[in-house]
Amino acid sequence: MNGLDALPALLGYGAVAFVLAELLARLWLSKRGKYFVFKPGTTTLMQVDQKTFPDLPTQVRFAINAAGERGGSLPRTWKNTYRVLVAGGSAAECYLLDQEVSWPQVLQSHLNPRASELGATRVHVGSISRSLVPCECLATMLRHALPGYERLDLVILMVGASDVVNWLEQKTPATLERGRMGIGRAFDVHPEGPFGWTLATLALRRIASFWYHSLGHPVEHREGAGKTVAKNRLMRANAREILDEVPDPTPMVEYFEAGFRDMVTVAKSHAKRVLVVRQPWLAKDFTPAEQARLWNFGAGRPYVEEVTTYYAHHVVDSLMQRLDASQERICTELDVEQLDLMPHLERSFETYYDFLHFTPKGSKHVGELIGERVVQPSVRF
């Protein structure tokens, strides 16, 4: 048999070998695969658009460690290390703040000199917070990710705004069904399907991508980060309608409360200690110039579509107050530590760069306030 005659047989063997390898990869993922909120080993360097955000740092580093957290490298051993995990939405993710300026890393810097007060010699803080993730999705994150933690001394939760934003973007539906969010909403890396036979849906590709990022530590560069916000500000400024009221928010509140209870319960089952930091926001009367800096809370998704109807900020303020009250009540019922930051943060654009997100100055203050509560849980300030 010459080479050409053997080619079909070789191709057939190759196809069979490929199918077997793919099936084995799917089996391996189902048995040994892990869940990571972010791809381990990745780093994104962003140049922040200074025209849109003149008060934010020019360059932002968003680095993911081997545990899939935004945070520093993991120690070789967890002995004598007080391990903290932060979970929440965009206010905890601190996407447009440099890694060391994000409040979880400010918290680590604040706690490390006082590690002995926590019975340790060092403190490690990692964050699995990500934007627009409601409590139901965060509960899924924690349920799948926390069993893989060798040690977990403290989980800090900061939530609330994502549930409000999602409800408004969906145009205030009267019902919100649980269980409709896929696992891909919570994790960049996970062992679940659906798998297929296209390049994008292969288990082999998923495994190869994981090891490429874990071992290769690729660095992605982004120019003009945050520039889209300028378009969204303009979209809100040109809105055809600003709504002064919403339908009864009870469905949203009940959906939030169910997810919040679930999330806190899961955290309590895996960590020695849980602290709920009730999410603050910029509650004030805005001048016309200040209004021009705001962009959230549209009836639709401004990142992917044209939005012409928005909700007044006093409406959002009342919704945030409603969820804040729910957190306070549920934390008391579940006997979970809580921290209300609202009385301690200046309500200005010195603290926030929009309605929800912290400036570097605000982030520093938040990290330090949380740090004081961590080392002095009995102190109520």
pLDDT tens for the 381 residues of the chain, in order: 555 566 676 777 778 888 899 899 999 998 888 999 999 999 999 999 999 999 899 999 999 999 999 999 999 999 999 999 999 999 999 999 999 999 999 999 999 999 999 999 999 999 999 999 999 999 999 999 999 998 999 999 999 999 999 999 999 999 998 888 889 889 999 999 899 999 999 999 999 999 999 889 999 999 999 999 999 999 999 999 999 999 999 999 999 999 999 999 999 999 999 999 999 999 999 999 999 999 999 999 998 899 999 999 999 999 999 999 999 999 999 999 999 999 999 999 999 999 999 999 999 999 999 999 999 887 665
Residue 381: per-residue pLDDT:
55
**Amino acid letter, residue 122:** R
Residue 353: per-residue pLDDT:
96
Based on the number of CB atoms within 10 Å of its own CB, is 335 exposed (0-12), middle (13-18) or buried (19 or more)? Answer: exposed
Residue pair 125/75 in contact by the 8 Å Cβ criterion:
no
What is the rounded distance in angstroms from the CA atom of residue 67 to the CA atom of residue 325? 33
Of 57, 27, 8, the closest CA to residue 204 belongs to 27
Residue 16: per-residue pLDDT:
86
Token duo for residue 266: 């899961």
What is the pTM for the complete model shown?
0.94
Residue 6: per-residue pLDDT:
67
Residue 304: per-residue pLDDT:
87
